[in-house]
Structure 1
C-alpha cells in the first residue's frame, strides 16, 4: 500500500512540474508573439558639411517607448561605395556616423532588436526597412575633373594632382576643399600648384595632414558658363607615402662573397616601416642577360660570385611595408652599381674613370686658358714699354732742340 502511495505521489509531482513547464513555455510564446518590434522611426541623414562624413539619426519606435524589462538595439547596414561592400553595426544609440561617397546613392537598411525578460532572453528581430538617398549636384555636364591622385612624398608634404574634365568651359577655375576629424570645418587648399603639363594641383604641408583617418577632399569650380561638377574623394594619408630615393648603394667584395648594402633613405619615414626591392641584372660576354628581384626588410644581402666573366648590376628602391600602411608607392630606383668592372673593347672600365678623365680635361682647359691670359698680358706689357720708350725718345729730342736753338740764332 505504501509503495502505491509513493508511486502515486511521484507521478503527481512529475505532472505538476510538467504543467509548470508547459505553462511557462505557453506564456513565453504568447508574449513573443504579441510583442510588436517595429523598425526605427524617423530615419534621417544629416550632412554637417564634412565632404561625405554623414550622421544618421533615428527615433525609438512608439510601440517600444514604454518597454522597461527589455533592451532595445538597432542594426544598421549601409553600402560603402569606397570598399564596395555592405557594412553592418549594432548599437543601442540613436545615431551613427559613417563615410559616404556623395557622388553615388546612399543606401541604408535598419531594423530593431529586442531582448530581455519580456522575450524570456530570446532576441526578437523586427522588420528591416530600407532608405535610399541620392545627393543632388549641379554643374556643367562633363566638367568633373579627371585623373585625381595624391602622393605623400617622404612624409614631408602631399601633392594631389588632377586634370580638367573632358568639357572645360571658358574661364574655368578649380577649387579644392578638405576635411579630417581634427578639423571643426572644411578648409581650402593651403597651396595651389600652378597648372602645367601634369595638370592642376594642391600641396599639403605635413601639419595640415592626419594619418589613419578619412581625409576627405572635394574639387569643384566655376566658369563663365556656370559651376563645374564637383568631385569627391576619401583617402587615408598613410597609404599614399612615396619614400625618398636610396642614395648610398654599395658593394663589398671579399674573395667569392659579394655583399650588397645600403642605408634607409633620408627623411621622415621610420626605418622599421620600410621594405626594399633589390633588382639584379646579370649579363654574360655572349650578350645574354637575365634579371631577378628580391623583396626584403634587410639592408644587406650576400651573394656568391663564381669568378666568371659575368657582370651583375644592382639597384634598389623602397616602399612602406604592410605593418605601417595598407598600400603605398615605390620610390625611384637608386643609381646602379656593378661587379666586376664593366669591360669595354677589351679594357677594364670603372665608373670613377669617367670622373677622373673629366677632371683632368677640365684642369688642362683651365691651364691653357691661364697660359693664354698670361701671354696676352705679357704682350700688352711689351707694347706699353715700347710706347713709353718712343715717347721718352721724342721728349729727349725736344729738350735737345730747345737747349741748342739760342746758340744758332
Structure 2
C-alpha cells in the first residue's frame, strides 16, 4: 500500500519540490501514519494508532550508507554528524521491534531530470576567500537561473550568495565569498533553480572546508649562511590560515636550485619543523630557494599549497 504526499519541502534554505512516498513492508495496513520530515531540526516524526514502547528509525541514501536509532516515542532526531545529501533521494524506515510492523518512506526530489547543476566544486584561497563554480544541467531550459545557499554549520543561519559569477547569458554559474572562516563541522551547500518552463531539480553537498583550502605560501623566509662550519640555516613562518595556529600542523617541501645549473634541484618533501639546515652550501655558488606547505595530522588540507616566491642566497 502506498501513501504519496506531494509537498514543498522547506528544508534548510529555500522551498524545494519533492515527494515523500510511503509503503508498508507487510501486507497488513500499518498503524504508522502521517510521516513528516523536518530538515531544519533534522527530525523524523509520525503518528501511531497504537501505543508502542519502542521504535527503530533508519535513514539510508542511494549509496546504501545508513544510520539507525531507537526511540521510545514517535519522534527520531538524526545525529548531528549525519551529513547525507538529499538530491539523489533518501529512504526512511520506521520499525516496531519484535513485530512485523514497519513503514518505509522515500524522499523523492522533484523537478525535470537533467535540470540540476553539474560539476559543483569550491576552493578557499588567500585565507578568507572562497569560490564555488558549477555548470548548468545538460537538459535545463534556456531560461533556468540558479541560486546558491550555504550554511557553515547547523548552528548558523543559512546565507545566499551575495556575489554571483555569471556567464554570457547572465546565468549564475558560480559565487565568490569573502570573509570565510573554516570551522570543524562540514558546511552544507545547496543550489536550486527556477524556470518558466518547468521545475528545476536541486543539488546539495556537504564539504569539509579545510580540505578545499589552497594553503598560502610560507612567509618571512631567510637563509643565514656561514663558512665555518659550512652551511645555511633556512627559516620561515608557517602559512596563515583562518583556523589553525599550531606550527606542528604543517609539513614542508623545500626546493633549492643551483642558479648556474638549474637542473640540479634538491627537493626535501617531508620537513616538519619551521627551519632546516642546508649542509651542501658552496659559498662560490648562488642558489634559489622556495618552500610550500601542506597539513599533517590536523584539520588542514593535505594537498600541497602555493610555492613561495623564490629568494636568492
Instruction: Give the TM-score band, short-chain normalised.
Output: 0.5 to 0.7
- The structure where strand makes up a greater share of residues is 2
Q: Does structure 1 residue 55 correspond to structure 2 residue 35?
A: no
Q: Does 1:87 align with 2:72?
A: no
The reply on whether 1:264 has 2:231 as its aligned counterpart is no
How far 1:270 sits from its partner (Å)? 3.0
Cross-structure match for 2:220: 248
Stretches of structure 2 lacking an aligned partner (at least 5 in a row): 1-29
**Cα distance in structure 2, aligned partners of 1:192 and 1:286:** 47
Q: CA deviation at 1:301?
A: 1.6
- d(CA) in 2 for partners of 1:187, 1:138: 23
TM-score by length of 2: 0.68
1:316 paired residue number: 291
Higher relative contact order structure (alpha carbons within 8 Å, sequence separation ≥ 6): 2
Gaps of 5+ in 1: 1-38, 65-71, 114-124, 340-409
Q: Match for residue 255 of structure 2?
A: 280
- Taking structure 1 as the reference length, the TM-score comes to 0.54
**TM-superposed deviation, 1:260:** 2.0
Distance in 2 between residues matched to 1:45 and 1:214, nearest whole Å: 25
Shift of residue 133 of structure 1? 0.4
Query: Is residue 217 from structure 1 mapped to residue 189 from structure 2 by the alignment?
Result: yes
Once the two structures are TM-superposed, the CA of residue 61 in structure 1 deviates from its matched residue by 8.0
Q: Is the 8 A contact 2:32 2:103 kept in 1?
A: no
Task: Give yes or no for contact 1:189–1:203 (8 Å, CA) kept in 2.
Answer: yes
CA distance in 2, matches of 1:293, 1:73: 59
Contact 2:91 2:105 in 1 (8 A): yes
Distance 1:237 1:105 in 2: 24
Deviations for 1:72-130, whole angstroms, at most 9, x for unmatched residues? 44443333568x633333444532135432222312344445xxxxxxxxxxx555846
> Match of 2:246, SS?
helix
C-alpha distance in 1, partners of 2:286/2:167? 45
- Aligned residues of 1:259 and 1:300 also touching (Cα < 8 A): yes
How many pairs are equivalent? 273
Aligned pair 1:46/2:37, yes or no? yes
Q: RMSD between aligned alpha carbons? A: 3.9
- Deviation of residue 262 (structure 1)? 1.0
Mapped to 2, the partners of 1:161 and 1:297 lie a distance apart of: 34
Q: Greater Rg, structure 1 or structure 2? A: 1
Matches of 1:202 and 1:335, distance apart in 2: 29
The 1:323/1:171 distance shift into structure 2, 3 A limit, reads same
How far has the Cα of 1:272 moved from its partner? Answer: 0.7
- The 5-angstrom pairing of residues 32-181 of structure 1 reads 41-42=32-33, 44-48=35-39, 50=40, 54-58=42-46, 62=50, 64=52, 72-80=53-61, 85-92=65-72, 94-97=75-78, 98-112=82-96, 125-126=98-99, 129=102, 131-139=104-112, 141-167=113-139, 169-179=141-151, 180-181=153-154
1:29 aligns to what? none
Structure 1 distance, partners of 2:47, 2:159, is 33
* Secondary structure of residue in 2 paired with 1:271: coil
| Deviations 1:371-399, CA, capped at 9 Å, x for gaps | xxxxxxxxxxxxxxxxxxxxxxxxxxxxx
Structure-to-structure mapping, 1:252-401, within 5 angstroms: 252-254=224-226, 255-266=229-240, 268-272=242-246, 274-280=249-255, 289=264, 292-305=267-280, 307=282, 313-325=288-300, 327=301, 329-337=303-311
Aligned mates of 1:245, 1:190 — CA distance in 2: 28
